[in-house]
Structure 1
Amino acid sequence: MLTATPAAPAAARALPRADLRLSPLGLGAAALAGLYDAVDEATAAATLQAAWDAGLRYIDTAPFYGYTRSERRVGAFLAGRPRDGLVLSTKVGRLMEPDLPARPGSDGWADPLPFRPVFDYSHDGVMRSFEASQQRLGGARIDLLLVHDIGRATHGAQHVRHWRALTQGGGFRALASLRSQGAVRAIGLGVNEWEVAWDALSAAPLDCVLLAGRYTLLEQGALGFLDRCAADGVGVVIGGPFNSGLLAGQARYDYGSVPAAVRERADALAAVCAEWDVPVPAAALQFPLAHPAVVSVLSGMRSPQQVASNVAWMHQAIPQALWQALRDRGLVHADAPLPRDPGAPA
């Protein structure tokens, strides 16, 4: 059995176009808002504290998560805490309108607060969303502001209308204005599809793209997009590194059931990892960070135990031979950068 030198804690990585440095492992705060299963207030607070104690200094939230529950919980946790070194991102694109009552299970939220999401990517919609987020976050500084879920995967036939609101209706202009005023330090997208992000890079001067599920150990269809980001100096945050939990042992892919072909590929990845006694989630967390465009990987965590597991996986020693085997067996793209064994000679 080949072994690797234990990995040292990784240093924060810079967004090339902004004065921000993100911890390589960030906390995605959707799970804390009750994605699929409810999380009580005490557990959510303990999870945030565990992440803080572990040195995770990047937190991502959104108005949509739990229908404002996530932002409220993150804001309460950050109240009074020092902000040096912490990066906080939230999103625009949905206005949360009061709506009594909210139905449990709406949009996947186990116990959403009594609001209804209304899409609005216009200049006024972006400004209203930002101001509402400031209220829910208790005045905590928002460092990175992202356009949430623009694209055909979310909007289907309505995509063109929402894209026009963003590009011609002033949505991107509002983001740029907030950045130029110093209200936020960086702007970008938070999406599940790389194609719309490709278009957005030509439409607005973005600093960052949070891309969920499309560049992971399971699939690398967005490799060309990441290469473009690296060339253009646009930072990429990888969300959904476990592809909605599939690579962490859950029977879910892209927020739904697992297609047979996807299951087969996941099983093949697991078999290779087992040969080197490496947990699949460890490989899944570390793989995206090898790409030069990637500055952080966001993992959803709903308990202190999950924080501990994610931190351990991020520091798991992984032999170079495992990465090479994945490439040789066609399980990762031939041109995808591979992590380097810290124990290997330079």
Structure 2
Amino acid sequence: MRIFPEGQRVGLGGAPLGNMLGEVTDADAVATVNAAWDEGWRFFDTAPHYGLGLAEERLGAALQDKPRDAYVLSSKVGRIIYSADSAAPDDEGFEISTTRRRRWDFSRDGVLRSIEDSLRRIGTDRLDIVFVHDPDDHYEEAVAAAFPTLIELRDQGVIKAIGSGMNQSAMLTRFVQEIDIDVIMLAGRYTLIDPDALDDVLPACVEHDVQVVAVGIFNSGLMSQPRPAAGTTFNYAPAEQALVDKANKVADICESHGVTLPTAALAFPLFHPAVAGVAVGCRTPDEVRTNATLSRTAVPAALWSDLKSAGLLREDAPTG
């Protein structure tokens, strides 16, 4: 299936809707999804992990009045959300206090329950894409149970495409090479600052005709602003000074060509033939509109040449 509808290569990442690294109101969450819709975005990604189901509920609330056949919806399996006796703050990066908890489960029953729960929380009758989510420490169970279950559901026509979403490229490479998947969600591993997925998973995706949704394209805070601010983050941890220095050198060249660092960071992954599109996490309508403007901004070809000449971008990175 086509992951991004014709003419669209940007979609909405749902983690911020679950209060990732900061609280979002229900109203702002719905307004954010509506802003994405107004910008023409038609790919929406979410997961049970995001805010312990909160992101799925908020996305579903915003999409209730949208024609179901007009957009592509993905969620994930690997974590079951269950209820505890008392409320507690979440300890995995989401600003929420709730009676809900999560546990790992890549079994057949866990996958089926996770999908059923996601459908209920979102308020929809189907998911178009289901990703096996973060199976870093669960390779064997994912291969033995989760993927076969998803393949069966795909063969039955219950879902259209299956894959895996991870913050690493090595295990994704194995999945692409060993399992009949359609798509991967590659988080923070094919970016303007860190394009090392060129060494493993991206060539494998080209060889096996697997589409890539690139996420984490700003490496959290590092490339989200025209200039990296003090205390910025790289993949949600404090950025090393060497990375900050490199990002500023890249920003120098971007500015010499009349564009910003975030503009180039969003454009870069889309040149690779395996990348179907990018999904950007947004928590406000303004963030959506800002990213939409970035996506429509032309980046001069000479910028990429200058980055390569300066040793700031790999020579083998596709840029045209």
Q: TM-score, normalised by structure 2?
A: 0.94
Equivalent position SS for 1:248: coil
Q: Report the secondary structure of 2:34's partner residue.
A: helix
- Between the two proteins, what is the percent identity of the paired residues? 40
Gaps of 5+ in 1: 1-17, 152-158, 340-346
Larger RCO (alpha carbons 8 Å, 6+ apart): 1
Inter-partner Cα distance in structure 2 for 1:28 and 1:19: 17
SS of residue paired to 1:147: strand
Match of 1:232 among 192, 208, 217: 208
Q: Contact 2:176–2:204 (CA<8 Å) still a contact in 1?
A: no
Question: How large is the RMSD of aligned CA atoms in angstroms?
Answer: 1.4
Match of 1:37 in 2: 22
Identify the residue that residue 183 of structure 1 maps to in structure 2: 158
Q: Report 1:1-346 matches (<5 A).
A: 18=1, 20-22=3-5, 23-104=8-89, 106-151=91-136, 159=137, 162-168=138-144, 170-224=145-199, 225-249=201-225, 251-339=232-320
1:20 positional shift: 4.4
Letter in 2 for 1:49: N
More strand as a share of residues = 2
> How many residue pairs align between the two structures?
312
Letter in 1 for 2:35: A
Indicate conservation of the 8 Å contact 1:272/1:326, yes or no.
yes
Q: Which runs of 5+ in 2 are unaligned?
A: none
**AA of the residue aligned to 2:95:** A
What is the CA-CA distance between 1:140 and the residue it aligns to? 4.3
In the alignment, is the contact (CA less than 8 A) between 1:208 and 1:235 conserved in 2? yes
Q: Which amino acid aligns with 2:143?
A: T
Q: Which one is further off, 223-232 or 32-41?
A: 223-232
Query: Residue 90 of structure 2 contacts residue 98 of structure 2 at CA under 8 Å; is this kept in 1?
Result: no
Q: Output the CA distance in 2 between the equivalents of 1:110 and 1:78.
A: 23
Q: Deviations over 1:1-31 (max 9, x none)?
A: xxxxxxxxxxxxxxxxx25444301100111
CA distance in 2, matches of 1:113, 1:217: 37
In structure 1, distance between residues paired with 2:258 and 2:85: 50
| In structure 2, distance between residues paired with 1:41 and 1:274 | 37
How far apart are 1:112 and its partner, in Å? 4.8
Find the residue that maps to 2:305 and give its secondary structure.
helix
